[in-house]
Amino acid sequence: MSEKVYDVLPQAAANAYINAEQYKEMYARSVNDSDNFWAEQADAFISWFKKWDKVQDWNYHEGKIRWFEGAKLNVSYNCLDRHLEKRGDQVAIIWEGDNPQSDKKITYRELYEKVCRLANVLKAQGVKKGDRVCIYLPMIPEAAVAMLACTRIGAVHSIVFGGFSPEALKDRVLDSGCEVVITSDEGLRGGRPVPLKTNVDKAVAHCPNVRTVIVVRHTGRHMDMVAGRDVWYHEEIEKVSAECAPEEMDAEDPLFILYTSGSTGKPKGALHSTGGYILYTAMTHKYVFDYHDGDIYWCTADVGWVTGHSYIVYGPLANGATTLMFEGVPTYPDAGRFWQVIDKHQVNIFYTAPTAIRALMGQGNELVTKTSRKSLRLLGSVGEPINPEAWEWYYHIIGEDRCPIVDTWWQTETGGILITPLPGATKLKPGSATLPFFGVVPALVTNEGDILEGATEGNLIITRPWPSQMRTVFGDHDRFIDTYFKTYPGNYFTGDGARRDEDGYYWITGRVDDVINVSGHRMGTAEVESALVLHEAVAEAAVVGYPHDIKGQGIYAYVTLMADIEPSEELKKDLVRLVREEIGPIASPDVIQWAPSLPKTRSGKIMRRILRKIAANEVENLGDTSTLADPSVVDHLVTNRAVKS
């Protein structure tokens, strides 16, 4: 583990809303005087049509979580209407296309009109408050328009990531009972078209409830429109008014459903509600990213994932920010694209994932240093533990020692960031998500549920709710209770393991199912991976446990080498030696398999379940591989499976 500590940067402290003292005071109050703390935040961040009867009401044993019940508000009103007077002409969304030649800017006033029009189209199609609408769009501004149009009329959106197959789309449309789907002719990623409308046609053929498909014209390719079902977005919005009164929603009315995978069973529809979610995403967006008026803010996620919901659309727009939406991929036309876009749009705040950082790091520094990046003030990381190697590269090379990195830990289920540094308050340790945000009370427990104190390692639970916690699994409240509140009764179980150091900093070690136990020694696969990627020849590594007669579990490492490096037995020995040096002999990999690439979900997470099965030689039963970005990666790994020497 890295021992380095980076002090709060003077320039970050000078700019910041919250310094170290204020963090301590506000955190204590958020826990000890929780109702008053949250009532004040709710007043400061959100415009309410009517105030709440009660700030919070909860019982984790029943999976009951309520915030601001009785209050009335509308999310699109908070993201649009209330900004019009002061910043109607300010850019709300900067869109950067897949093709570097295509971009556009949309002001708050323009966005407001687009949202009102689409809301009226939805109404004309019979969509009412509480109805579900599926959004299956590429990263184009219409995705944000569609989300906000749903919230305007109280419809519940369910976004399905554009990379999901027709089969996965069908399952989600059916489970959430959507009757309307909003899609586009095609998406565009890395210069290649994605056949969205064609996928919808295949999916919806098995969804008898879907009566309308609204199609956005994006690439312009000819589409077959199904008479009586399919309508063009650009035609329909011309037929309706540019004004639509916002529906008054209760704070606890549902806002959206987002499907997420657990360790077992089919994906769960995480249901988020209105008041607590918009408050918490707005507040975290402002304080974690130290967002100030006029900043250009870019989160590279896709709106198909929770990060896109909370930190491309809802949090930033609630704060009146300028948010950048990027349609493309980090490596097109070349691996310098992120840095070029930062210069082009003078981005101040940049939020991305470790998998992207590692991939770009593997391409060398030249594409980075060719760009200026002088506009950058703050960097963020999300999605998985960031290994100290990648952190240091991000900090020194991308940020030129000038930008704090906020390593933000959270989940689809949590709606917003729970553990994170605040840039003006928190000293940074590479690889640590550091400290809890206001109102968040984490704890570490043993497998038996005993609370661990001090510097220790265990299962990460949260002992009380925060406003943006998911409220239920759509259509299956028992599953909600079973998944999150049964393992450690009375607490929310995150599924992650973590270490807490002597400063109280949290180091997420990964999903608890990724913890391996070798000869009775417990270790995080991430630790071994971090050691492997220290080697200059290694671009990426994924480590899993596999059954071992003597040790219980052995260590199986999949290693991706940097471009132009030839694998060799000599290199394997080097790597084993490196791990022994970094962690100790107990962490030496038993098996190293060269992996030209790793099986990743479309959001960039390594699918360890598959790697564990290959390592265990259970290759005839690999389970569902449909959510992989590139399923052929698996065949290669199976064929070249390394046998323990």
Annotation: binding site for CoA: 189-192, 307, 519, 580
Nearer residue to ligand 6R9 within complex by CB, 218 or 268: 268
CB of 517 to ligand 6R9, least distance (A): 19
Contact code string over 247-266 relative to ligand 6R9, x by CB under 6 A: -------------x------
Minimum distance of ligand 6R9 from residue 358's CB (angstroms)? 14
For position 407 contacting ligand 6R9 by CB under 6 A, the verdict is yes
Q: How far is the CB of 386 from ligand 6R9 (least distance, A)?
A: 7
Q: Is 55 or 405 the residue whose CB approaches ligand 6R9 more closely? A: 405
**382 is a site residue for ligand 6R9 (CB under 6 A):** yes
Task: Find the shortest distance in angstroms from Cβ 379 to ligand 6R9.
Answer: 13
When asked if residue 535 is in the footprint of ligand 6R9 (CB under 6 A), the reply is: no
Q: For CA atoms 321, 322, 326, 327, give the dihedral sign.
A: positive
CA-to-CA distance for 598 and 360, rounded, in angstroms?
Answer: 15
Name every residue whose Cβ is closer than 8 Å to that of residue 290 and which is 6 or more positions away in sequence.
12, 15, 16, 17, 349, 377, 378, 422, 423, 424
Distance (Å, rounded) from C-alpha 637 to C-alpha 614?
Answer: 8
* Binding segment (CB under 6 A) for ligand 6R9, from list 25-33, 78-86, 124-132, 507-515: 507-515
Binding-site positions for Mg(2+): 533, 535, 538
Nearest by Cα to 321 from 80, 74, 19? 80
For position 508 contacting ligand 6R9 by CB under 6 A, the verdict is: yes
Residues 6+ apart with CB under 8 A from 247: 74, 129, 152, 153, 154
Rounded to a whole number of angstroms, the minimum distance from the CB of residue 627 to ligand 6R9 is 12
The correct pick among 171, 250, 302, 496 for binding ligand 6R9 (CB under 6 A) is 496
Question: Could you tell me the smallest distance in angstroms from the CB atom of residue 511 to ligand 6R9?
Answer: 5
Question: Which one of 54-62, 111-119, 363-371, 504-512 is the stretch in contact with ligand 6R9 (CB under 6 A)?
Answer: 504-512
CB-count exposure of residue 119 (10 Å: 0-12, 13-18, 19+)? buried
Report, in Å, the least distance between residue 533 CB and ligand 6R9. Answer: 15
The region of 395-403, 503-511, 528-536, 562-570 touching ligand 6R9 under the rule CB under 6 A is 503-511
When asked if residue 409 is in the footprint of ligand 6R9 (CB under 6 A), the reply is yes
Amino acid at 456: T
**Stretch of residues binding ligand 6R9 (CB under 6 A), selected from 446-454, 488-496, 537-545, 628-636:** 488-496
Pick 197 or 511: Cβ nearer ligand 6R9: 511
544-549 contacts at long range (C-beta below 8 A, 24 or more positions apart): 544/514, 544/516, 544/608, 544/611, 544/612, 544/615, 545/516, 545/517, 545/518, 545/612, 545/615, 546/590, 546/591, 546/612, 546/615, 546/616, 547/616, 548/518, 548/590
Please state whether beta strands 156-159 and 254-260 pair in parallel, antiparallel, or not at all (unpaired): parallel
User: Which residue, 384 or 590, is less far from ligand 6R9 as judged by CB?
Assistant: 384
Other CB atoms closer than 10 Å to residue 225's CB: what's the count?
14
User: What is the nearest approach in angstroms of ligand 6R9 to the Cβ of residue 261?
Assistant: 9
Total binding residues for ligand 6R9 by CB under 6 A? 22
Binding region: 189-192, 307, 383-385, 407-412, 496, 511, 519, 522, 533, 535, 538, 580
Member of 151, 183, 408, 491 binding ligand 6R9 (CB under 6 A): 408
Q: Which stretch binds ligand 6R9 (CB under 6 A): 288-296, 378-386, 550-558, 624-632?
A: 378-386
384 binds ligand 6R9 (CB under 6 A): yes
- Work out how close the CB of 406 gets to ligand 6R9 at its nearest, in angstroms, rounded to a whole number: 9
433 binds ligand 6R9, rule: CB under 6 A: yes
Where are the extended beta strands (E) located within 475-551?
492-500, 506-511, 515-518, 521-524, 538-548
Q: Is 629 left (phi over 0), alpha (psi -120 to 50) or beta?
A: alpha
Task: Report in angstroms how near the CB of residue 392 gets to ligand 6R9 at its nearest.
Answer: 16
- C-alpha R_g of the chain: 24
Tell me if 495 contacts ligand 6R9 by CB under 6 A: yes
Q: Which residues pair with residue 258 across a beta bridge?
A: 270
Q: Which is nearer to ligand 6R9, 106 or 419 (CB)?
A: 419
Give φ, ψ of 560 to 5 degrees: -100, 125
3-state secondary structure of 250: strand
d(CA 214, CA 117): 13
Query: Cβ-count burial of 298 within 10 angstroms (0-12 exposed, 13-18 middle, 19+ buried)?
Result: buried
Among residues 360 and 571, whose Cβ is nearest to ligand 6R9? Answer: 360
Q: In three state form, how does the secondary structure of 289-329 look?
A: CCCCCCCEEEECCCCCCHHHHHHHHHHHHHCCCEEEEECCC
By CB atoms closer than 10 A (0-12, 13-18, 19+), residue 362 is middle
411 binding ligand 6R9? (CB under 6 A): yes
Residue 307 interacting with ligand 6R9 (CB under 6 A): yes
Please name the amino acid found at residue 621. Answer: N
- Site residues for ligand 6R9 per CB under 6 A: 260, 305-307, 381-385, 407-412, 433, 494-496, 508, 510-511
